[in-house]
A and B are shown apart, each in its own frame.
Chain A
Amino acid sequence: MKTSARFTVVLTRPCLVGALGVIALVVGPASANKDPVTPQQLKAYEDAFMEQVRIGDLLFHGDAALAKKMNVVLTTTGMACAMCHPFASDTHPQAFPKYQVSMNKFATLRDMINWCIEKPNQGEKIDSDSDAMKALEAYIYWSNTGSVLVPGKY
């Protein structure tokens, strides 16, 4: 199928300061069914993300009821992630993947989340694609919004 687009370029008269205004209209074929994103959709996408951040935040801060509901044992020592990582500090998602000395292997953020579940928390490793893992990851990344990517940094 051939996709075609019609361009309409409207040139306005040069204004007083001499700038040239250009309006480009890009129109899809009559059969196209993809609409531009609406503010409502954007909000829904963001809400879907923030809901995971919220769940991750609660798990990270040791919400036992939620962990139970999600069928994960993140700790058996009374330790929660946030007790050592307030504001998700020192989790350094921006540095992954990297060679992780403590594990002696090339590791991802999820590997390290599991490592901290097993070691300081003495909990049970979670499936690396599980809902709990994705939520923890969402919270850790969101908390570090603004941190600069430095993959591989020790």
Chain B
Amino acid sequence: MSELDRERRELATVLQRPGVRPDPLLRITRRTFVHRSCLTGAATVAQTFAWWPLLNTIDVAYAAEEPFKFAWVSDTHLYPKSVNTRFVEKVQRAAREVQAMNPPADFMIFGGDLAQLGRANELELGVELLNEVKIRKVFIPGEHDWYYDMGAKWKQLFDKPNWTFDHKGVRFIGLDTVTRGPDYWTVRKMSPEERMDHMATLDGSVAGPWAGVGRDQLDWVQKTLADWDKARPVVIFSHNPLYEYYPPWNFWVRDWREVNEVLKPYTNVTNIHGHVHQVLYNEIGTMRSIGMLATSWPWPYAPEGVPKLTKPMIRADPGDFYDGVGWETLSMNKDRIETQYVMWGRKEVFVQSPPDSSLSQPEILRPRIADQIWPY
């Protein structure tokens, strides 16, 4: 059995214990709304969500004090305008649409990977573009934001990489899952550019298992939740998923066992994460986990480990920059949280039949080698 298989089995036994599910009072349904404006062709901006041809939602029951919405945008991977205007345009579009939400979102969470290569001008460009969004904004970092200057610019712009606040009966926690990567650069005497380039290569083997929460931060989470009723809703934002999906691409946090230990007593936890650039849904013990789209480009599903509870998104058309990408709104109501994927240029976010899915062509892949034998 490979190391990966062993970990998967452990994950299944440790996290997915029989009979343990998110709060049994809560029912999860998946719905597709065909919006009226679509049927009549009479969309007006004043109409709620009039710009969506179709809304695909994952509904999760919830217990917020009063209904509200918030918006998620992440993985914009901005290059300077001189390199690439395509990503810039997509951020502008997302910002416009978030700002136009009616009723407005209570806040916007930016889920990391604002920049592509962690440069100050990329991060500043992101701030400038997101200035179009006037509602409250909160930020967590992605690995692409951090490893050029080890977070110096990011912290100057956005302050702390982890934080918490309460909103209408929900405790929100922003987690930092990217800044505790093992030091792969010092002994290799890498320049900041080289360090960043390795970190920016999703399938690279040099940066290693960089995604993690860290004992210090877990203690902080534990402290943060100590005064919180175990049954009350908690929403955790993180860049990486908090379980093990596909470690070779850091579609995980390496300390998922400890994370699970800390969160286990809380029965109403929802984790919302970026990094995977794809639709994902999973239940880990009593926690739900929802993966968000990027605005920049979609990633294919990993060749193995896709949670069984995930209804996959469609395979994207590489000729259409607006395909397979977008942003999300999450509405919290007394009894549910609805995730609405706003995927540009798509009538259906989810696959309708196997051929719609990249997973319908089984692949057996091997890791790359050039970054091991090239003289880095």
Contact = CB atoms under 8 A, between A and B. Distances in A.
A75 B83 CA distance: 11
A87 B367 contact: yes
B284 to A, nearest CB: 23
B358 interface: yes
A95 B355 CA distance: 13
B212 to A, nearest CB: 20
B303 to A, nearest CB: 6
B51 interface: no
Contacts of B299: 84, 86
B245 interface: no
Contacts of A146: 364-366
Contacts of A147: 362-365
A95 B366 contact: no
Contact of A153 (B84, B204, B361): B361
A146 B367 CA distance: 13
Contacts of B204: 61
A95 B319 contact: no
B318 A88 contact: no
B370 interface: yes
B368 A57 contact: yes
Contacts of B83: 77-78
Interface in A61-113: 61, 77-79, 82-90, 92, 94-95, 102
A86 B249 contact: yes
B201 A90 contact: no
B368 A143 contact: yes
Contact of A102 (B84, B317, B321, B365): B317
Nearest to B367: A87
A144 B363 contact: yes
A21 interface: no
Nearest to B77: A83
B297 interface: yes
Contacts of A92: 361, 363
B142 interface: no
Contacts of A79: 84, 297
B203 A86 contact: yes
Contact of B318 (A50, A53, A120, A145): A120
Given A78-B83, A79-B297, A119-B318, A87 B366 contact: yes
Nearest to B303: A89
A102 B368 contact: no
B248 interface: yes
A58 interface: yes
A58 B366 contact: no
Given A54-B369, A58-B370, A84-B299, A78 B116 contact: yes
A78 B80 CA distance: 10
A11 interface: no
A54 B370 contact: yes
Contacts of B84: 77-79
A128 B79 CA distance: 30
A54 B366 CA distance: 13
Interface of A: 50, 53-54, 57-58, 61, 77-79, 82-90, 92, 94-95, 102, 115-116, 119-120, 142-148, 150, 153-154
Given A61-B368, A102-B318, A115-B319, 4 more contacts: A50-B369, A78-B83, A90-B300, A120-B318
